[in-house]
A and B are shown apart, each in its own frame.
Chain A
Amino acid sequence: NAGVTQTPKFQVLKTGQSMTLQCAQDMNHEYMSWYRQDPGMGLRLIHYSVGAGITDQGEVPNGYNVSRSTTEDFPLRLLSAAPSQTSVYFCASSRGDTSGDEQFFGPGTRLTVL
């Protein structure tokens, strides 16, 4: 099992550019989510999905879109990048949507927006 994989590892964008951060998991997990990690703030939830075709907003969804067409993949789209989106992005997955389920994290994507 590869677990949770994320691509790319590093990315530099210019303000206004768009890009998609890829996330995939091979554990047949129903629940997937995206977090951003900023210094001194821990991780904050951007969007999450409880299964294919179902997504919802987290704490900081503005500027980001998601879709979930398959169980395995959960891409995060930045339509028009802004410097405030400079961060490290983590994708996570878990078996279910129950409080207490362990979440498995990917290695992260470090994004810089100039």
Chain B
Amino acid sequence: GDSVTQMEGPVTLSEEAFLTINCTYTATGYPSLFWYVQYPGEGLQLLLKATKADDKGSNKGFEATYRKETTSFHLEKGSVQVSDSAVYFCALSDQGNKLVFGAGTILRVKS
């Protein structure tokens, strides 16, 4: 079945550092790919998405490119802030709108 693997955390960075969170997927079809973010004590909210190969999703300085050849959707940000501290989930939807999530990566940004 479909699956998502993302790098384990926690990831601890200093403010203004470069961020990469790796995400790879396995799917039988042509899935849509997502990054969701969960701030402490809250539900998940969509950060960005890409629906076909080579699409780049971007939002709030975060970017991720749908790479079909490497089955990857790595999340990047050039300069993180303390307010980016959260849990980041990579996810895919292949059949209908059923989401398959990775385990989540905790990001901690120190000032």
User: A residues touching B (Cβ–Cβ < 8 Å)?
Assistant: 4, 31, 33, 35, 40-45, 48, 50, 58, 90, 92, 94, 96-108
Given A43-B89, A105-B43, the answer on whether A99 and B96 have CB atoms closer than 8 Å is: yes
Interface stretch of the complex, out of B44-52, B67-75, B76-84: B44-52
B46 pairs with A102, CB closer than 8 A:
yes
B97 pairs with A98, CB closer than 8 A:
yes
User: B residues touching A (Cβ–Cβ < 8 Å)?
Assistant: 4, 31-32, 36, 41-46, 49, 51, 89, 91, 93-104
Expressed in whole angstroms, the Cα–Cα distance for A107 and B32 within the complex equals: 24
For A88, the closest partner residue in chain B by CB is: B43
A103 pairs with B99, CB closer than 8 A:
yes
A-B pairs, top 6 by smallest CB distance, nearest first, are: A42-B101, A105-B43, A100-B32, A100-B51, A99-B93, A105-B44
Expressed in whole angstroms, the Cα–Cα distance for A112 and B83 within the complex equals: 30
A44 pairs with B101, CB closer than 8 A:
yes
Pull 6 A–B residue pairs with CB atoms less than 8 Å apart, ordered by A.
A94-B97, A98-B96, A100-B32, A100-B93, A102-B49, A105-B43
Cβ contacts under 8 Å, A48 to chain B: 97-98
